[in-house]
């Protein structure tokens, strides 16, 4: 069975600190996708990144970076120089194999990040 674990329920940092959100997943599929979504206090879900299981290159987008390690089944998310606007709940999600073509996602429990000024 597929599973996503975000062990950090809540994280609190002071502005400008770096913070890493952990995501560990379990799957028997050899091909899959991993995602990160952001849910700000307003409640909507915002797509951040999609990663194919064959692509283990780290990705950087501005202050955001993602570290995908297939060997440890982890897909961690780092925010550099955090800002108050980064305060949100962050979800990691795992898809079924694309061969099944359902797009079904399994979400982690979410990590609430609070960035204090």
Partner 1 sequence: NAGVTQTPKFRVLKTGQSMTLLCAQDMNHEYMYWYRQDPGMGLRLIHYSVGEGTTAKGEVPDGYNVSRLKKQNFLLGLESAAPSQTSVYFCASSYSGRAEQFFGPGTRLTVL
Residues at the interface with partner 1 (CB under 8 A): 4, 6, 9, 33, 35, 37, 43-45, 47, 50, 91, 93, 95-96, 98, 100-110
Query: Tokens 């990663």, residue?
Result: 51
CA dihedral (113, 48, 1, 32) positive or negative: negative
Whole-number minimum distance, CB 16 to partner 1, in Å?
29
Beta strand 19-21 with 59-61 is unpaired
Residue 52: count of CB within 10 angstroms of its CB: 13
Whole-number minimum distance, CB 65 to partner 1, in Å?
18
Separation of alpha carbons 35 and 103, rounded Å: 12
DSSP, collapsed to helix, strand or coil, labels residue 43 as coil
Whole-number minimum distance, CB 116 to partner 1, in Å?
22
Nearer to partner 1, 13 or 106 (CB): 106
Nearer to partner 1, 13 or 105 (CB): 105
Nearer to partner 1, 79 or 108 (CB): 108
DSSP state of 71: G
Whole-number minimum distance, CB 6 to partner 1, in Å?
8
């Amino acid at each position: 069975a597929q599973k996503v674990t975000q062990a950090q329920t809540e994280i609190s940092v002071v502005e400008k600190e770096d913070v890493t959100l952990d995501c560990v997943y379990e799957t028997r599929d050899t091909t899959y996708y991993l995602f990160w979504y952001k849910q700000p206090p307003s409640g909507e879900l915002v797509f951040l990144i999609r990663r194919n299981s064959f692509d283990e290159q780290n990705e950087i987008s501005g202050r955001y970076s993602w570290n995908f390690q297939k060997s440890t089944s982890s897909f961690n998310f780092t925010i550099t120089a955090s800002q108050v606007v980064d305060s949100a709940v962050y979800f990691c999600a795992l898809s079924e194999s694309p061969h099944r073509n359902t797009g079904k996602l399994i979400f982690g429990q979410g990590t609430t990040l609070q960035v204090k000024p």
